[in-house]
Amino acid sequence: MAIPDRVPIAYEPDYRTDTIGRYDGGLFFGSVTATLEDGAARNPDWHRFKRWYAVLHRFDDQGGHIDSQIWFAGTGEHRDDSVEKARSCLAGWLDALPGRVFGDISIKPFQVEVGGHVFGLVDQSEPHDGRDHAEFLPDGLGFAPPWDGLYDT
């Protein structure tokens, strides 16, 4: 078996996939997420290396990646402020999507790089001992058979 051409992602209100759905231009996946520099977790001041982002990926009706808006909101040193700024930014982007309706989506694997970090839906089968696995990065949402839209964190 292999990763499907389009990976289903289930909409879950008030949880990690509560900002996904359709709009007049296709599909979208929005999130507030963070990256951490490699090796930073071993530092006592690791929070300085955690970077918070507002992210909005847009896709065509067939789930092909169109573009991504990725905005750096601040570091973990000021976590609450950084997260609030990212949420506010994402809310504005979502409000600007004409005909927006939250719901399940199905998208093709893709990736973009920002600041040395990968954002996207990436084939991670090799690191999972060859088992079919796609990971939404940097959100840490793992998808695997039976490809029902549910994920592990």
Q: Is a pLDDT exceeding 80 seen at residue 39?
A: no
**Which amino acid is located at 113 in the chain?**
E
Model confidence pLDDT, tens digit, residues 59-117: 999 999 999 999 999 987 777 899 999 999 999 999 999 999 999 999 999 999 998 99
Cβ pair 56, 90 in contact under 8 A = yes
- pLDDT bin (cut points 50, 70, 90) of residue 7 is very high
Distance CA 8, CA 3 (A): 11
Q: Where are the alpha helices (DSSP H) in 3-67?
A: none
Quote the pLDDT of residue 128.
80
Average pLDDT over residues 124-153: 93
Cβ pair 105, 63 in contact under 8 A = yes
Average pLDDT over residues 110-127: 94
Pick from 142, 136, 108, 125: which is nearest to 26 by CA? 108
**The pTM is what?**
0.92
Quote the pLDDT of residue 80.
86
The DSSP secondary-structure symbol of 152 reads: B
